[in-house]
Amino acid sequence: MPAPIRLRELIRTIRTARTQAEEREMIQKECAAIRSSFREEDNTYRCRNVAKLLYMHMLGYPAHFGQLECLKLIASQKFTDKRIGYLGAMLLLDERQDVHLLMTNCIKNDLNHSTQYVQGLALCTLGCMGSSEMCRDLAGEVEKLLKTSNSYLRKKAALCAVHVIRKVPELMEMFLPATKNLLNEKNHGVLHTSVVLLTEMCERSPDMLSHFRKLVPQLVRILKNLIMSGYSPEHDVSGISDPFLQVRILRLLRILGRNDDDSSEAMNDILAQVATNTETSKNVGNAILYETVLTIMDIKSESGLRVLAINILGRFLLNNDKNIRYVALTSLLKTVQTDHNAVQRHRSTIVDCLKDLDVSIKRRAMELSFALVNGNNIRGMMKELLYFLDSCEPEFKADCASGIFLAAEKYAPSKRWHIDTIMRVLTTAGSYVRDDAVPNLIQLITNSMEMHAYTVQKLYKAILGDYSQQPLVQVASWCMGEYGDLLISDQCEEEEPIQVTEEEVLDILENVLISNMSASVTRGYALTAIMKLSTRFTCTVNRIKKVVSIYGSSIDVELQQRAVEYNALFKKYDHMRSALLERMPVMEKVTTNGPTEIVQTNGETEPAVLETKPPPSGLQPTSQANDLLDLLGGNDITPVIPTAPTSKPASAGGELLDLLGDLSLTALVPAPQISQPPFLLDGLSSQPLFNDIAAGIPSITAYSKNGLKIEFTFERSNTNPSVTVITIQASNSTELDMTDFVFQAAVPKTFQLQLLSPSSSIIPAFNTGTITQVIKVLNPQKQQLRMRIKLTYNHKGSAMQDLAEVNNFPPQSWQ
Amino acid sequence: MQFMLLFSRQGKLRLQKWYVPLSDKEKKKITRELVQTVLARKPKMCSFLEWRDLKIVYKRYASLYFCCAIEDQDNELITLEIIHRYVELLDKYFGSVCELDIIFNFEKAYFILDEFLLGGEVQETSKKNVLKAIEQADLLQEVSKCPESIDEEY
């Protein structure tokens, strides 16, 4: 049999293929040749064949039949064979295949080989893809090599140890003695990898952390030498000496200085020095400054240093390099809570970044802008944000609109300004507004009594030509129904008064009903509005009667029901009509479902009123709401169709926002509102809709999977009824500890969440202990509590992660 | 670093180094999606993007994209320097490296990478030392060749 073709030859040949099919054919032919060669146990060409296989694997073709061959190559004595063999192992094998364990013995031998390059290959392979079993078996060898004086091997052993610790955290202790003199090395490679190893150990164990704090002076010294020493050609990058090492040292200092006054004090000077002396003309200098800023902000630095850090970030914002700007915005977002005033000083630069072309920068600038809005700058900021809303990409509009509403609610300087702002949002991004915004806005409008005429006029004008933006049309319809009398009487002094007749108003509402752009919910709003106008208008009552009776046979069940009942109002209960359709009272912001409110709003069908808290947009009706409907006699409920969540780009700067990606829903397909049965006249009992808070709120099991159980217990604050304090207890019923446990939670935007520090990060096995953590939830609107949780932990040597929704909160915890 | 990918402007993979255990299927999926995402970026955009729960740092050198996935606590700017250092190493080794060099000598590109990074972290910050090690290893490869084989080993 002729010698198998050479690697480069094969590559050349395959590249001549003109079509995918041709390439596939060549590959299959060659694979067949390689297979038979393998079967013949040919030692001479095994290396060549595996190399070719690796190339074909990179092109996307299956290469698993070469796995065992890689092992044979590793076992060979020839260096070339080992080189290709280990490469093959790293590319084709992973810990999922049992085959990989066969490598262990070879690696063990090679770790003790006489040639350092062979030892290097073994260390590299173990450090890149060693499984937990392999790591357990070979940790001793790695530890030995960590103590060698050969710096080539020592640096590799250090990173290999890092990998071992990541895979099998329990083995961390055994490397402790070897770390004794690591920082005394002159060799930068060893220094760098040692710092990485120390960082890994300190991050994983508070004991190690306190143990290694004594290294701070030495680290400071090394860093100082790097900065002060002259030009060192071997490690120089654009005039800076070993930036990689500088950055890693700064990161280790961050971990050591965190929460520790003495260590922070000891590193104060060097941080100031680095911050002021580092050359900023190239990326490498800025990389060091960036790390320095992160460290300054995280340790207990003095205020002067912190201001210095923020100013560096401010300068970054003005940098032409958009990478630097991006990094600055990310860091500012992290620090805006703690150093708010300092960040405020850079507000105008941040706002300018809203106009950046890069999407990631825009998003960060938007988040930061919302964090910086306050009572003083609201007018100016809002102008910028509204302009941004107008011109930004669709993926931002929903978040931006929500953010604007929130900010406006908190800081509006006047009611008129507030309403104008809302109008602006509705008209520019009306279809991106979230569903729960509509009832909020309606409630806001009812509260500004002097603005009713102004508002309804503006809304009327806004939808005159265009019914496509559903939330806008919904709010407008509702207002026209409620304040139609003001609209036609042109009581509004502020705007140029427009002459509107009853007919014109009804024209619009009827058009909304007919338009095929109108969602079912919108039609509901329009029909009810028309009905309400029967008491507010004088000349057009017959027209209204006609419209209402037409819809009595509508295919849409919701509309049909309403129309039939309104018809009944006209026919049988005409004497009650004016009372029923009276002007709405001002709605309470902190809403409850108290019986008295229902009596007041008798007969009104607006879901926004009856269920005086905004209906949960799109998610399953709560069992609470169902109970209510059952109490009042099973009327038809429009099925609530959950809308598809938008896929939000994950934002690294805010994990909470990321977790909320599914809770926030697009308003493009607004969910039908949960409709309360319209007729409460029949058999309305003044049954309280929630139980009095009994002594003690039942606790719930929020999560239980894979042996991890998380329970929530609740307490309500006596001083602030909007605060719920949740204590979580995480327990572990498996036979191995769960380490590095991190609990994260996200709630819908109308809530606020505060997570206090957990009791520890390790959940001992066999339920022998728990992690407790306190969550404070602020729920001013008394909305039903929902939470999404993210759990990350290490268990049995692998990293675990899970997302879950908690929906079983007892009503006493949030009402 | 969780992984590094090198791919051409047409989306062809030239090198893949994974530092986390994933199945072949998952690797393919991630590669496909990420390549698509990065290739869709406009030239003026910044080198960082958020993707799933990772930070992606990428830079284009001639016809090749160098793309790294780093974790939340890693420094994006120094990652750019890491990428640049790797390119410099390739350049020194091959003498004005171009995509073809990496295509035809992919195994050497891996060898160089494995002397520069280990387990996703930098193991040697001196350019000279990395190149010296490669040189010595290449020499060892020469020496260990069986006498019958001619110039190219495989």
Tens digits of residue pLDDT in A144-176: 999 999 999 999 999 999 999 999 999 999 999
Instruction: Note the pLDDT of residue A457.
Output: 84
Residue A323 to residue B46: CA distance in whole angstroms: 5
Check B15 against A58: CB less than 8 A apart.
yes
Tokens of A92: 């084709």
Instruction: Note the pLDDT of residue A468.
Output: 82
Q: Which residue among B51, B118, B127 sits closest to A156, beta carbon to beta carbon?
A: B118
Q: Which residue among B119, B129, B133 sits closest to A162, beta carbon to beta carbon?
A: B119
Check B45 against A359: CB less than 8 A apart.
yes
The pLDDT tens digits of the residues spanning A108-136 come to: 999 999 999 999 999 999 999 999 999 99
Check A189 against B52: CB less than 8 A apart.
no
Q: Which residue among B50, B52, B123 sits closest to A156, beta carbon to beta carbon?
A: B123
pLDDT greater than 90 at residue A292:
yes
Instruction: Tell me the three state secondary structure of residue B48.
Output: strand
Q: Which residue among B16, B115, B119 sits closest to A163, beta carbon to beta carbon?
A: B119
Let me know the angle formed at the C-alpha of A582 by A674 and A452, rounded to the nearest 5 degrees. Answer: 85
DSSP 8-class letter at A648: P
With 0.90 as the threshold, say if the pTM is over it. no
Helices (H), A147-205: 151-167, 188-204
pLDDT greater than 50 at residue A596:
no
Check B23 against A322: CB less than 8 A apart.
no
Asked if residue B20 lies in contact with residue B3, where contact means CB atoms within 8 angstroms, the answer is yes
The pLDDT tens digits of the residues spanning A341-365 come to: 888 989 989 999 998 888 888 989 9
Residue A551 to residue A527: CA distance in whole angstroms: 9
pLDDT greater than 60 at residue A702:
yes
Residue A32 to residue A5: CA distance in whole angstroms: 13
Check A156 against B47: CB less than 8 A apart.
no
Average pLDDT over residues A553-577: 86
Q: Residue A490 — very low, low, confident or very high, per pLDDT cuts 50/70/90?
A: low
Instruction: Note the pLDDT of residue A269.
Output: 94
Q: Residue A495 — very low, low, confident or very high, per pLDDT cuts 50/70/90?
A: low
Using a 10 angstrom Cβ sphere, with 0-12 exposed, 13-18 middle and 19 or more buried, the burial of residue A523 is buried
Mutate to test the interface with B, among A80, A151, A282 (most CBs of B within 10 A): A80
Instruction: Note the pLDDT of residue A491.
Output: 62
B37 touches chain A (CB under 8 A): no
Asked if residue A725 lies in contact with residue A717, where contact means CB atoms within 8 angstroms, the answer is yes
Mutate to test the interface with B, among A92, A100, A124, A125 (most CBs of B within 10 A): A124
Average pLDDT over residues A282-299: 95
pLDDT greater than 60 at residue A667:
no
Mutate to test the interface with A, among B46, B59, B115, B116 (most CBs of A within 10 A): B46
B123 touches chain A (CB under 8 A): yes
Amino acid identity for residue A516 in this structure: N
Instruction: Note the pLDDT of residue A258.
Output: 92
Question: 């869709």: which residue's tokens?
Answer: B40
Q: Residue A676 — very low, low, confident or very high, per pLDDT cuts 50/70/90?
A: very low
Average pLDDT over residues A389-415: 88
The pLDDT tens digits of the residues spanning A196-239 come to: 999 999 999 999 999 999 999 999 999 999 999 878 889 999 98
Nearest C-alpha in B relative to A115: B140
Which secondary-structure segment (H or E) carries A260?
none
Instruction: Note the pLDDT of residue A588.
Output: 66
Nearest C-alpha in A relative to B127: A234
Residue A370 to residue A59: CA distance in whole angstroms: 47
Task: List CB contacts (< 8 A) between B48 and chain A.
Answer: 323, 326-327, 360
Nearest C-alpha in B relative to A8: B104
Mutate to test the interface with A, among B14, B23, B56, B114 (most CBs of A within 10 A): B114
Measure B48 CA to nearest chain A CA, in Å: 7
Tell which residue, A445, A532, A460, A535, has the closest CA to residue A490: A460
Q: Residue A485 — very low, low, confident or very high, per pLDDT cuts 50/70/90?
A: confident
Nearest C-alpha in A relative to B81: A284
pLDDT greater than 50 at residue A615:
no
Count of CB contacts below 8 A, A vs B? 188
Instruction: Note the pLDDT of residue B59.
Output: 97
B29 touches chain A (CB under 8 A): no
Average pLDDT over residues A282-308: 93
Question: 């159980």: which residue's tokens?
Answer: A709
Query: B70 in the Ramachandran plot: left (φ > 0), alpha (ψ -120 to 50) or beta?
Result: beta
Query: Which residues 78-117 of chain A have a CB within 8 Å of chain B?
Result: 78-80, 83-84, 87, 91, 94-96, 115, 117
Task: List CB contacts (< 8 A) between A294 and chain B.
Answer: 75
Q: Residue A442 — very low, low, confident or very high, per pLDDT cuts 50/70/90?
A: confident
Instruction: Note the pLDDT of residue B152.
Output: 59
Task: List CB contacts (< 8 A) between A58 and chain B.
Answer: 13-16, 106
Share of residues in chain A with pLDDT > 70 (%) = 85
Check B46 against A323: CB less than 8 A apart.
yes
Query: Which residues 78-97 of chain B have a CB within 8 Å of chain A?
Result: 78, 80-82, 85
B138 touches chain A (CB under 8 A): no
Q: Which residue among A124, A234, A327 sits closest to B126, beta carbon to beta carbon?
A: A234
pLDDT greater than 80 at residue A641:
no
A313 touches chain B (CB under 8 A): no
Mutate to test the interface with B, among A244, A297, A791 (most CBs of B within 10 A): A244
Nearest C-alpha in B relative to A289: B77
Check A234 against B78: CB less than 8 A apart.
no
**Close Cβ partners of B133 (under 8 Å, ≥ 6 residues apart):** A117, A120, A152, B115, B124
Which secondary-structure segment (H or E) carries B55?
strand B54-61
Which secondary-structure segment (H or E) carries A773?
strand A770-778
Instruction: Tell me the three state secondary structure of residue A355.
Output: helix
Task: List CB contacts (< 8 A) between B102 and chain A.
Answer: none
Q: Which residue among A78, A124, A360 sits closest to B46, beta carbon to beta carbon?
A: A360
Q: Higher-confidence residue: B11 or A434?
A: B11
* Beta-bridge mates of residue A726: A714, A775
Task: List CB contacts (< 8 A) between A651 and chain B.
Answer: 50
**Close Cβ partners of A424 (under 8 Å, ≥ 6 residues apart):** A386
Instruction: Note the pLDDT of residue A627.
Output: 38
pLDDT greater than 60 at residue A650:
no
A578 touches chain B (CB under 8 A): no
Instruction: Note the pLDDT of residue A609.
Output: 36
**Close Cβ partners of A264 (under 8 Å, ≥ 6 residues apart):** A257, A299, A300, A301
Task: List CB contacts (< 8 A) between A189 and chain B.
Answer: 123-126, 129
Asked if residue B77 lies in contact with residue A283, where contact means CB atoms within 8 angstroms, the answer is yes
Q: Residue A297 — very low, low, confident or very high, per pLDDT cuts 50/70/90?
A: very high
Average pLDDT over residues A654-675: 36
Query: Which residues 324-353 of chain A have a CB within 8 Å of chain B?
Result: 324-327
Taking all residues of chain A, what is their mean pLDDT, rounded to a whole number? 82
Q: Residue A72 — very low, low, confident or very high, per pLDDT cuts 50/70/90?
A: very high
A196 touches chain B (CB under 8 A): yes
Check A8 against B75: CB less than 8 A apart.
no
Distances (CA, A) of B46 to A297, B42, B75, B84: 24, 9, 15, 16
Q: Which residue among A80, A322, A361 sits closest to B153, beta carbon to beta carbon?
A: A80
Instruction: Note the pLDDT of residue A501.
Output: 84
Instruction: Note the pLDDT of residue B13.
Output: 96
Instruction: Note the pLDDT of residue A81.
Output: 94
* Beta-bridge mates of residue A771: A730
User: Which of A459-468, A521-530, B28-37 has the least mean pLDDT?
Assistant: A459-468
User: Which of A572-581, A756-765, B52-61 has the least mean pLDDT?
Assistant: A572-581
Average pLDDT over residues A799-808: 89
Which secondary-structure segment (H or E) carries B65?
strand B64-70
Query: Which residues 501-530 of chain A have a CB within 8 Å of chain B?
Result: none
Most confident region among A457-461, A609-613, A657-661 by mean pLDDT: A457-461
Concatenate the DSSP letters of all residues of A786-801 into one string: -EEEEEEEEETTEEEE
Task: List CB contacts (< 8 A) between A243 and chain B.
Answer: 78, 81
A156 touches chain B (CB under 8 A): yes
Instruction: Note the pLDDT of residue B143.
Output: 84
The pLDDT tens digits of the residues spanning A321-342 come to: 999 999 999 999 888 888 888 8
Check B19 against A95: CB less than 8 A apart.
no
10-residue mean pLDDT profile of chain B (154 residues): values are 96 96 93 96 89 93 96 95 97 96 96 97 97 96 68 63
Instruction: Note the pLDDT of residue A592.
Output: 36
Instruction: Note the pLDDT of residue B104.
Output: 96
Question: 């406006």: which residue's tokens?
Answer: A408
Tokens of A679: 């007729």
B107 touches chain A (CB under 8 A): yes
The pLDDT tens digits of the residues spanning A366-386 come to: 999 999 998 889 999 999 999
The pLDDT tens digits of the residues spanning A221-230 come to: 999 999 998 7
